[in-house]
């Protein structure tokens, strides 16, 4: 089950997201000191989401601006930003959340945390935020590299 | 005037990205090297107008290769490609006369911008 | 000389395309097992390697793998699984069903190129 040992969980998901971005995009991200995982402005953004079924269900999310998504996908594929189509960005963010979940799952294999992987999906829009009711537990963090920002969150249902 | 560019980086993705952006902006990529040693060799045979040099590479790293090139060609134009945590290496690069760095991740705009800084 | 990439993510297929280009292979793409079978019908002779994801909608990777390995014209084509699926029992399942190599995501393009060469019998193992 996704237990209440959040430190463990956040630690391995952090390793997973850093590893995935570094391996696939070739650059490093680090955790921001900013306590909010909301992106810094109101530009259009994409969120990649995956339901992690477990005895305590959770939703994994990563949120990036279109610009950040373009950089990530450009670096993953070697295709220059101006040659990318919007679908490439959605597919890219979806695949990133897919790999992060998969990697975290293997890193957590010897712990008490176990969860399933489901089909990831994305939502896209301008100036939205993922807002939770006060008593919903969550782990959230922002990762940065230069101008790039990735809002990362796990929300327990 | 910069026309012919040599790319020295061990990542095929960076090669692709740089090549496409440079070609889209009217530059010619005259050579691709996978490590510093190849980079120095290609610099000597091709005499490019500019080199994009990655830092972390097998066999010979970018700083070593840049030093090599600057020894034989002090006026060689080199743009170093850096990643997080390369600050010390960047300081050493500045000492041998390299003053333009592109930090990963860089986009097309930053590439063109760096090129415009070269006189 | 062709490689077939079977993955429902267009981005993964684009990444694989980059590797194929470096190796000067043509890449054929399918987003699920059924599409891949269609492509095999007319291209099997030229396809030297299949890169296959495990989790796909419609016909999943495992079922596609079994179909390929039981087909007289396709069974000799080496198959490498390229997938986030990392549970040992599923890796064993895939190997037993005839996959000759297995690579987990995430992967660097350098690693992908190296592994493709191994599968084609042209790399050092």
Q: What is the pLDDT of residue C18?
A: 92
**Closest approach of C109 to chain A, Cα-based (Å):** 8
Q: How confident is the model at residue B6 (pLDDT cuts 50, 70, 90)?
A: very high
More confident of the two residues C123 and C121: C121
Asked if C17 and C66 count as a contact pair (C-beta separation under 8 A), the reply is no
Q: How confident is the model at residue A152 (pLDDT cuts 50, 70, 90)?
A: very high
Tokens at residue A57, please?
């269900």
- DSSP assignment letter at A149: E
d(CA C85, CA A36): 32
Chain C residues with CB under 8 Å of A88 CB are: 10-11, 14
For residue A124, what are the β-bridge partners? Answer: A46
Q: How confident is the model at residue C125 (pLDDT cuts 50, 70, 90)?
A: very low
Chain C residues with CB under 8 Å of A85 CB are: none
Given a cut of 70, whether residue A2 has pLDDT beyond it is no
For chain A, what is the largest distance between any 2 Cα atoms, rounded to a whole number of angstroms? 44
Q: Is C9 at the interface with chain A, CB within 8 A?
A: yes
Q: How confident is the model at residue C38 (pLDDT cuts 50, 70, 90)?
A: very high
What is the average per-residue pLDDT within C15-33? 95
CA neighbor of A108 nearest in space, from A5, A3, A22, A9: A9
d(CA C103, CA C54): 11
DSSP alpha helix (H) spans, chain A? 6-25, 66-77, 86-107
What is the average per-residue pLDDT within C67-76? 96
Can you tell me the ipTM of this complex? 0.90
Chain A residues with CB under 8 Å of C109 CB are: 78
**Closest approach of B117 to chain C, Cα-based (Å):** 31
Q: What is the pLDDT of residue A135?
A: 66
d(CA C89, CA C93): 6
- DSSP assignment letter at B20: H
Q: What are the pLDDT digits (tens) for A105-139? A: 999 988 888 899 999 999 998 877 777 777 667 88
Given a cut of 80, whether residue C123 has pLDDT beyond it is no
Q: What is the pLDDT of residue A19?
A: 96
Interface A-C: count of C-beta contacts within 8 A: 55
Q: What are the pLDDT digits (tens) for A55-77? A: 889 999 999 999 999 999 999 99
Asked if A60 and A100 count as a contact pair (C-beta separation under 8 A), the reply is yes
d(CA A100, CA A98): 6
- Secondary structure (H, E, C), A92-115: HHHHHHHHHHHHHHHHCCCCCCCC
Which residues 47-106 of C are in CB contact (within 8 Å) with A?
55, 57, 84-86, 104-106
Tokens at residue A150, please?
């990735």
Give me the residue label for tokens 């699926």: C85
- CB contact under 8 Å between C109 and B12, yes or no, is yes
């Amino acid at each position: 089950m996704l237990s209440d040992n959040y430190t463990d969980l956040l630690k391995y998901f952090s390793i997973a997201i850093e590893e995935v971005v570094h391996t696939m995009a070739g650059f490093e991200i680090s955790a921001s000191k900013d306590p909010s995982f909301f992106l810094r402005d109101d530009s259009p953004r994409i969120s990649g989401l995956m339901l992690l079924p477990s005895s305590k269900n959770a939703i994994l999310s990563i949120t990036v601006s279109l610009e950040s998504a373009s950089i990530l996908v450009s670096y993953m594929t070697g295709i220059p930003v101006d040659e990318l189509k919007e679908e490439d960005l959605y597919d890219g963010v979806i695949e990133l959340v897919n790999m992060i979940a998969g990697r975290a799952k293997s890193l957590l294999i010897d712990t008490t945390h176990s969860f399933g992987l489901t089909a990831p999906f994305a939502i896209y829009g301008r100036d939205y935020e993922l807002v939770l009711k006060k008593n919903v537990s969550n782990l959230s963090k922002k990762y940065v590299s230069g101008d790039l920002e990735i809002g990362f969150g796990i929300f327990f249902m | 005037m910069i026309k012919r560019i040599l790319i020295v980086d061990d990542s095929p993705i960076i090669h692709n990205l740089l090549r496409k952006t440079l070609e889209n902006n009217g530059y010619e990529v005259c050579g691709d090297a996978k490590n510093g040693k190849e980079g120095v060799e290609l610099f000597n045979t091709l005499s490019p107008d500019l080199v994009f040099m990655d830092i972390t590479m097998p066999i010979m790293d970018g700083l070593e290769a840049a030093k090599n090139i600057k020894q034989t060609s002090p006026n060689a134009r080199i743009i170093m490609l850096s990643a997080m945590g390369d600050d010390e290496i960047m300081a050493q690069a500045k000492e041998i006369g390299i003053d333009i760095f592109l930090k990963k991740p860089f986009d097309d705009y930053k590439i063109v911008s760096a090129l415009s800084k070269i006189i | 000389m062709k490689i077939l990439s079977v993955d429902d993510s267009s981005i993964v297929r684009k990444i694989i395309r980059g590797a194929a280009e470096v190796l000067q292979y043509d890449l054929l793409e399918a987003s699920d097992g059924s599409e891949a079978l269609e492509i095999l019908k007319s291209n099997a002779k030229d396809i030297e390697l299949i890169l296959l994801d495990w989790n796909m909608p419609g016909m999943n990777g495992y079922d596609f793998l079994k179909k390929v390995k039981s087909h007289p014209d396709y069974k000799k084509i080496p198959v490498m699984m390229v997938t986030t699926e990392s549970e040992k029992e599923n890796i064993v399942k895939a190997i037993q069903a005839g996959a000759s190599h297995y690579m987990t995501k995430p992967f660097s393009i350098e690693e992908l190129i190296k592994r493709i060469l191994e599968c084609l019998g042209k790399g050092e193992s």
